[in-house]
Chain A
Amino acid sequence: MHSLRYIILLILLASLLISSCAASDIPRTPEEIREVAKAVLQEEILLFMEAGYSSGETSDLHRNDLRYAARNYPEYPRRIVDTTGKTITIVRPLERIVAYNSHWVTPLNQDEKIVGVASSAVSEEIINPHVVGKINIGGGGPNMPDLERIYACNPDAIITYVTLGPGDEFFVDKMPKSVKVIRMDFLEPAYVRDEILKIGYLLDCQEEADAYLAWHDSYVREITKRTAEIPDDERIRVFIDVGSTGGADRRTAPTGTYMSTHCVDGGGINIAADLITGSTGVVNTEWIAFENPDAILALCYGAGYGVDDSRDLTEHYRDITSHQILSFTPALQEDRVYIISYRYAYGLEYPAALATIAKWFYPDRFADLNPQSIHQEYIDRFIGADYDVTARGVFAYPNVG
């Protein structure tokens, strides 16, 4: 059962990667927004009239939706396809959003539109100024959000994850139809750009979205440009470790997962890229030893902004290096075992995490990169919190400066 879920997740991620390549026609200018609004409104009026007066199928928008759309035309309606492939049409500005996924809120300066947030965001209030004064709907990690608190928010939209948290059976089935449930991750490097553009268009904050993407691109494109120039025979072979499943087995990350993208963008070769497609995601340490990786890149579900000791990361490091069978691999022989916090690798600060990985993999080629300074730039420009990444938080082990 568990492996079946993993297979479905992999298929979903692969399809998301494919669809994200095509999703680049997001309206940017007022003219483009007007053009899309007209096309959507025309289409929806036809559907409504056909459904109401002829023998057509049920229309997506109701009479009141179309009246709102007409009043807000030509700025609305706005339409996107979210990361699950679902078409989302809004007919007026969204003003009461439950942000179960709130990575994007402060960087895009949308704090005022938020009424509810997950407790996982509240627990990192220090770096999430948007949570102040908002309803804590609970949830985060394995915990389910509190439905009653979501109702108390009286939301017009819920923005939640694709690959994390409850599914539609929770958010869609238990909410009034008027509440738009929008699924975006803001985590996966392969489609985070499209998600930022879409949310910028949907919430009418294109300038903020553009500012973030300009910063994002300045680092990600430079890093990937340099790693693309590395000859194949000079690329390091990497085992991605996503924790222990007990005994001699380790969980890993195949193609289509965030960590695999980080590894490849950082110039590494993911030795398990294709090995476990459609499988469990678990390999034995014997197999790892046989593959003889040059480095091990490990994701740790601990540490982050609100943590000041590195125990989570060092314990993960020791967990890997304690496997005797791996002690003969170049990764352990040359002390190339790298641990990164999920809170650093997954989120809009990930260009800094990518810089960290690239510098771990190729210290000479990326000697001029300073991941901590990229991270601090993100905090200062897009979060605005009084937070010094060199003095607080734990994000990577060993630290690369």
Chain B
Amino acid sequence: MIKFLIQYVEIMMMNISHGLILLLFISLLIYPVMGVDGGIVRTLGSDALPAGGTVEVTLRLPDDAIIGIVETIPDGFVFAATTHPENAYRVSGNQLIFSAIGTTEIIYTLRAEGGGNGMIVGAFEDFKTGTAGEIPASQVTAERGNLPAAEQSPGSGFIFVALGAFLLFRKVA
């Protein structure tokens, strides 16, 4: 199996267009879901988490915005932390409510609990422009299991990085 993969990667490395496709594929694995609306963009550090693992969610906002956001997180995930000021967010069940004044980024962390598969959906009100709408949903999956995050097997992104490093080493040698 590993031999087959090595051969496949070697072939693709020789072909630039295939290489670009691979790069795109890898980047899609790392940044799988991006939603854009009202100038708000949601990005996830990963879309698939081991049980107990965490994912960082970033909401990028327009400059000088005065916005309210409600993020609804799927079953199997819980809010873990945020870098947003304490008096500018609330957690209500599976909903995270943010107010953002003049900030361009909200980062929060979710933790996978009990496994699950679902969408993060968001709604926003931009009080400066008078617009309201939805932030496109982002899919996120959590494996079932009880292992702590540090003991999980490496993800697919890690495998590709390891393979790349191995091939590079072989060529140099």
Chain A's interface size range is 20 to 34
Pick from B32-40, B45-53, B87-95, B147-155 the stretch touching chain A: B87-95
- B160 proximal to A (CB < 8 A): no
Q: Are A42 and B130 interface neighbours, CB within 8 A?
A: no
Which residues from A are CB-within-8-Å of B95? 53-54
Q: What are 5 pairs between A and B in contact, CB < 8 Å?
A: A42-B101, A43-B87, A49-B70, A54-B97, A55-B93
A-B contact count (CB 8 A): 66
Q: Are B130 and A54 interface neighbours, CB within 8 A?
A: no
- B99 proximal to A (CB < 8 A): yes
Interface of A is mostly: helix
Chain B, range 50-81, C-beta contacts under 8 Å to A: 66-70
Q: Are A63 and B99 interface neighbours, CB within 8 A?
A: no
Which residues from A are CB-within-8-Å of B69? 49
Contact of B92 among A50, A67, A69, A71 (CB under 8 A): A50
Q: Are B99 and A49 interface neighbours, CB within 8 A?
A: yes
Interface of B is mostly: strand
Q: Are B68 and A46 interface neighbours, CB within 8 A?
A: yes
CB within 8 Å for A39 and B125 given contacts A45-B68, A53-B95:
no
A-B pairs, top 5 by smallest CB distance, nearest first, are A45-B99, A70-B127, A49-B68, A53-B70, A70-B66
Given A49-B69, A50-B97, 8 further pairs, Cβ under 8 A: A41-B66, A46-B97, A48-B125, A49-B97, A49-B98, A49-B125, A50-B92, A54-B95
Q: Are B70 and A38 interface neighbours, CB within 8 A?
A: no
Binding site for A on B (CB under 8 A): 66-70, 85, 87-90, 92-93, 95, 97-99, 101, 123, 125, 127-128, 130
Separation of A73 and B65 alpha carbons in the complex (Å): 11
Q: Are B66 and A48 interface neighbours, CB within 8 A?
A: no
- A66 proximal to B (CB < 8 A): yes
Q: Which residue of B lies closest to A71 (CB)?
A: B128
Separation of A48 and B99 alpha carbons in the complex (Å): 10
Q: Are A67 and B130 interface neighbours, CB within 8 A?
A: yes
- 0 or 1 for each of A23-57: is its CB under 8 Å from B? (1 = yes): 00000000000000011011101101110111110
Separation of A263 and B59 alpha carbons in the complex (Å): 62
Separation of A55 and B88 alpha carbons in the complex (Å): 18
Contact of A67 among B89, B90, B127 (CB under 8 A): B127
Nearest chain A CB to B118 CB, angstrom units:
18
